[in-house]
Chain A
Amino acid sequence: MELGIDVSKTDSHAVVDVKGEIDVYTAPKLREKLIELVSEGSYDVVVNLEGVDFLDSTGLGVLVGALKRVKAHDGSLSLVCTQDKILKIFKITGLTKVFPIHASVAEATGASSE
């Protein structure tokens, strides 16, 4: 099982495109990448979950951990997700109130740089 992670930078944001299944086996790879970005000074991060087929509590834990890290630097972490099966996981756990969730990367990078 592979997790694909691609990072691109805009003027204002680091955009992390994730593809595959985020579970207990693959989530550490995402955590390491997000920690690396923050340690390099990227404090406004967008995580694009449109290519994610599966997301579990370990993946949610990684995203919450990353949110705490960027907030410590007055940064932001927003998500891109339109898939019902993934949105459902955020709703069940109450995290729709914690993360700004956008329909596209353009919307996410536009919205949180205002």
Chain B
Amino acid sequence: MADVELSIPARSAYVGVVRLAIGALARAAELDEDIVDDLRIAVSEACTNSVLSHERSGVDAPVTVTWNEEPSRLLVEIVDEGAVYDADGLDADDTQAELRLSMSVAMLRSLMDGCEIAPREGPGMATRFTVPRRTR
């Protein structure tokens, strides 16, 4: 059982560091390899959205990833302090940034069942999802 919190500077160079960490955590949790891949992509997308949001808003706070393992599932949350947006109200034809974000949201929702992308308490957005674990 591992609970891990990763806090990264909101800069693009650190998103790859999170991918490495998530890959290692997911393998340590004995998830299937295809789920490990999906999880790396999903966490990377959520961190990318947060890092770009901080850059645009000029926020100098870190982006935080928490990883909580429960017996039957693991919970992952990515939290930022950037601008709040409506993940259901994006216009892919508007700007390049909005097109990218809408593709990112599509990836998150497709890869992670029940993925929530919503404003959190306090400033910023939170992206949350759960991954079922095999019972053995």
The answer to whether A and B assemble together is: yes
Q: Give chain A's interface residues, CB within 8 Å of chain B.
A: 1, 21, 23-25, 54, 56-58, 60-61, 64-65, 85, 89, 92-95
Q: A58-B48, A60-B103 are in contact. Are A85 and B37 (CB under 8 A)?
A: yes
Q: Which residues of B contact A (CB under 8 A)?
A: 12-13, 15-16, 19, 37, 40-41, 44-45, 48, 51-52, 96, 99-101, 103-104, 106-107, 110-111
Given known pairs A57-B104, A65-B96, the reply for A92 and B111 (CB within 8 Å) is: yes
Chosen A-B contacts, 22 in total, with CB atoms closer than 8 Å, are A1-B16, A23-B15, A23-B48, A24-B48, A24-B51, A25-B12, A54-B44, A56-B45, A56-B48, A57-B48, A57-B101, A58-B48, A58-B100, A60-B100, A60-B103, A61-B96, A85-B37, A89-B107, A92-B110, A92-B111, A93-B106, A93-B107
- Please measure, in the bound complex, the distance between the C-alpha atom of A1 and the C-alpha atom of B44, giving whole angstroms: 14
Could you tell me if B41 and A56 are in contact, using CB atoms closer than 8 angstroms? yes
* A1 to B110 CA separation, bound complex (whole angstroms): 27
Majority SS at the chain B contact face: helix
The interface centre, meaning the residue of A24, A25, A60 with most chain B CB atoms within 10 A of its CB, is A24
Q: How far is the CB of A18 from chain B (nearest CB, A)?
A: 16
Q: How far is the CB of B14 from chain A (nearest CB, A)?
A: 8
Across the interface, name the chain B residue whose C-beta is closest to A94.
B106
- Residues on B with C-beta less than 8 A from A60 are 100, 103
* Interchain CB contact under 8 A, A64 and B99: yes
Question: Which chain A residues border B52 with CB–CB below 8 Å?
Answer: 24
- How far apart are the CA atoms of A60 and B100 in the complex, in Å? 7
Residues of B within 8 A of A21 (CB): 16
Roughly how many angstroms separate A69 CA and B107 CA in the complex, as a whole number? 25
> Which of chain A's residues have a CB closer than 8 A to the CB of B110?
92
A85–B40 Cα distance when bound, in Å, is: 12
Q: Report chain A residues within 8 Å CB of B13.
A: 1, 25
